[in-house]
């Protein structure tokens, strides 16, 4: 799984499943669901197609920074219990990051653009 704790320095490859980042056992796990991992990769690929590699990388780096902020300060962003109980949302440019704070990690559930949120969160 994707380790948010190592985001600021370690993520250079958009396919987080291939990373194999070592993990400090003292730190809590912060992870992406499979759906969120696919969202992250699709956003990058869409960005390349529409805006080119440089812009896609810039957007990806900003997204990684925001995911790192979520790992460090998960309560900073608003709860969205009306969408799903216990979920929070952080908006990064044109995407909403939906996540849940768990006892030992922050779980990124989805990263959505203008999709139907309620349907995508089911």
pLDDT in tens, 58-103: 999 999 999 999 888 999 999 999 988 999 999 999 999 999 999 8
Nearest of 45, 37, 43 to residue 16 by alpha carbon: 37
pTM above 0.75, yes or no: no
CATH topology of domain 31-114: YaeB-like fold (3.30.2310)
- State the pairing for strand pair 87-92/95-102: antiparallel
**Is-contact 32 15, C-beta < 8 A?**
no
Residue 104 gets which letter from DSSP?
Answer: T
Position 103 scores a pLDDT of 87
**Lowest mean per-residue pLDDT among 15-19, 53-57, 96-100:** 15-19
Average pLDDT over residues 19-43: 67
Ramachandran assignment for 86, one of left (phi > 0), alpha (psi -120 to 50 degrees), beta (any other): left
**Distance separating alpha carbons of residues 74 and 119, to the nearest angstrom:** 24
Nearest of 90, 85, 83 to residue 108 by alpha carbon: 90
Report percent pLDDT > 70 for the chain.
69
Position 17 scores a pLDDT of 38
Q: Domains of the chain: which residue ranges?
A: 31-114
Residue with tokens 């952080």: 90
């Amino acid at each position: 799984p994707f380790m948010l704790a190592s985001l600021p320095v370690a993520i250079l490859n958009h396919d987080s499943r291939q990373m194999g980042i070592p993990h400090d056992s003292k730190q809590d796990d912060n992870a992406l669901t499979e759906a969120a991992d696919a969202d992250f990769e699709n956003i990058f690929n869409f960005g390349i197609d529409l805006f080119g590699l440089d812009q896609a990388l810039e957007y990806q780096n900003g997204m990684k920074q925001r995911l790192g902020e979520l790992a460090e300060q998960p309560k900073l962003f608003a709860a969205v219990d009306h969408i799903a109980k216990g979920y929070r949302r952080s908006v990064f440019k044109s995407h909403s990051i939906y996540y849940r704070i768990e006892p030992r990690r922050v779980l990124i559930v989805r990263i959505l653009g203008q999709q139907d949120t309620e349907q995508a969160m089911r």
